[in-house]
Amino acid sequence: MEGEVFIGVDIGTGGVRAIAFNSKLEQLSSSYQEHTTISSREDQAEQNPHEIYSNLISCLKDVSQPYKKITGIGFSSMLHSIMGVDEKGNPLTPLYPFTDNQGKNKIKRIKEELPTFYKKTGCPPHPMYPAVQILWLKEEKPDIFKKIKKFLSIKSFILQKLTGDLVEDSCIASGSGLLNIHKLSWDEEILNFLSLSEKNFPRVVQVTEKLTIKSVSGLNNLRGVPVYPGAGDGMLCHLASGGLKKGHLSSTVGTSGALRIATHKPFLNEKESIWCYHFYKNWWVSGGAIHNGGITLRWFRDRLCREEAEKAKKEGMDIYELFDKWAGEVSPGAKDLIFLPFLAGERSPNWNPRMRACFVGLGLHHGKKEIIRSIMEGVMCRMRAVMELLKPSLPEKVEIRASGGYTKSRLWLQIQANLFKNVIKVLQEVEAASLGAAIIAMFAQGRLNSLEGFEPKIKEVITPDEEEVKLYARVYKKHIDLYRRLEGYFSGG
């Protein structure tokens, strides 16, 4: 087995990452390319699938070139995305990621005309789901809708270009609001409602379905290499955290944020506030997710800190390291500045797409450092709200394992430990989605005996600070109180 190389690809909302691992799942090399999102008007979030594909080719080329042979490639991608293509597979629409809320006015129709939508799909009615985005396209852009032959996720679009096979793994399919998670097939009632049929979608396959790279320009060295569809980024982060074990909760903050648990059957709740997606065979993953995780700091970087970001780039410094340093110079509570981080609306726990972000208590004594600290605290307060949603279904003692970009910030992890009043175990591998994708490739080729038996390396254990736990209990109470006061305002009440 010495010398084998597996690549884990993650097509994220903010960029594409490819990481080469050896047979011990130790990182050998990595490559990352950021892509753009067009958000020039309210609720709009659109991406260029060609740009994302180009970034993928670049990343695969970078990480594969040093090695004589690549044993296998596993794929992870953003869980929710949709685009329309013609009969030749050419895009007729932009790619709509989960942050696109243009279909928010269609939710009422979904609830009224498809009353079993949640029970069948595991998806609480919300504009981030492709089912809603397709309804929006059908009714707001009928001329384009009529020309569309297939609806694809970004992963199925890319896999077809690489392998010639048009498939959708059951995980991504179940994150669309179009798949019946009990039957694991496209739901006929929902497709009829959208004036579509199974012919308009890829074939649904398991995460370990074997595909093969054909001749692709720029990737001649990868021709014939086995490729596996893998799953959604959240499910693979959960796998990489060892989350298939009982009592394990995975916590991730990247562009968005989520807390997840694994079950052997679909797990839903009466309030329709917990999502549930199929993962692999008799495994489903349920949980809650926030729309606004690391994207809040990216917004602050792009909109309010351009000069600092350019300066940091020229000096070879990561701007987020500077943000972390600034926030660390501010005492917990950010001098009573509260941030409600709803820049892109809300997912869990209340699924309110009309909710918007705001700073409360902003004064002359606040500067960029306090604002950044309040952003980090605000994001983690929303993660705490998701934790409260899941608590009734969790055992008394849970082990929380953290992955994603936020694990580079010990401060952010400490804020989480204090708000959750729980120990946080931090994965050694920051990019858990890519690791999970590589695990799928290894498992599919018989290099791992089981998925549930995987145990990750833990880099650090973060314990709550007793004094800060008390302070953050007050911060969280204020946060929730402000949410309740402002919810009606943003909802038009």
Share of the chain above pLDDT 90, in %: 91
For the chain, give the mean pLDDT. 95
Predicted TM-score of the model (pTM): 0.91
Q: Tell me the C-alpha distance between 83 and 47, whole Å.
A: 10
What pLDDT was estimated at residue 198? 98
Share of the chain above pLDDT 70, in %: 99
Give the per-residue SS3 of 243-281: CCCCCEEEEEECCCEEEEEEECCCCCCCCCCCEEEEEEC
Q: Which amino acid is it at 459? A: K
Residue-wise pLDDT for 107-129, tens only, equals: 999 999 999 999 999 999 999 99
Average pLDDT over residues 218-232: 95
Residue-wise pLDDT for 258-282, tens only, equals: 999 999 999 999 999 999 999 999 9
Token digits for 266?
Answer: 């679909």
- Select from 6, 163, 169 the least CA-distant residue to 77: 169
Biggest CA-to-CA distance, the chain: 63
- Cβ neighbours of residue 354 closer than 8 Å, sequence gap 6 or more: 104, 345, 490, 491, 492
Average pLDDT over residues 297-306: 94
Token digits for 199?
Answer: 């012919």
C-alpha 4: how far from chain center: 29
pLDDT class for 493, splitting at 50, 70, 90? Answer: low
- Cβ neighbours of residue 305 closer than 8 Å, sequence gap 6 or more: 319, 368
Token digits for 188?
Answer: 């006929």
- Residue whose pair of structure tokens reads 């320009």 in the numeric block: 217
- Select from 2, 13, 1, 5 the least CA-distant residue to 433: 13
Is the pLDDT at 252 greater than 70? The verdict is yes
Which is more confident, 477 or 493?
477
- Residue pair 443/437 in contact (Cβ under 8 Å)? The answer is no
Is the pLDDT at 1 greater than 60? The verdict is no
Token digits for 409?
Answer: 């910030």
Q: Tell me the C-alpha distance between 356 and 343, whole Å.
A: 6
Is the pLDDT at 149 greater than 50? The verdict is yes
DSSP 180: E
CB count in 10 Å sphere of residue 155: 26
Q: Tell me the C-alpha distance between 372 and 491, whole Å.
A: 27
- Residue pair 191/153 in contact (Cβ under 8 Å)? The answer is no
Residue-wise pLDDT for 347-403, tens only, equals: 999 999 999 999 999 999 999 999 999 999 999 999 999 999 999 888 888 999 999
Residue-wise pLDDT for 153-194, tens only, equals: 999 999 999 999 999 999 999 999 999 999 999 999 999 999
Token digits for 66?
Answer: 């040093």
For 380, the enclosing helix (H) or strand (E) is: helix 368-390
- DSSP 3-state assignment of 339? strand
Is the pLDDT at 2 greater than 50? The verdict is no
CB count in 10 Å sphere of residue 356: 16
Q: What angle do CA 210, 155, 136 make, to 5 degrees?
A: 140
Q: For residue 299, what are the β-bridge partners?
A: none
CB count in 10 Å sphere of residue 87: 9
Domains of the chain: 5-233 (3.30.420.40)
Q: Which amino acid is it at 362? A: L
Q: Tell me the C-alpha distance between 327 and 445, whole Å.
A: 45
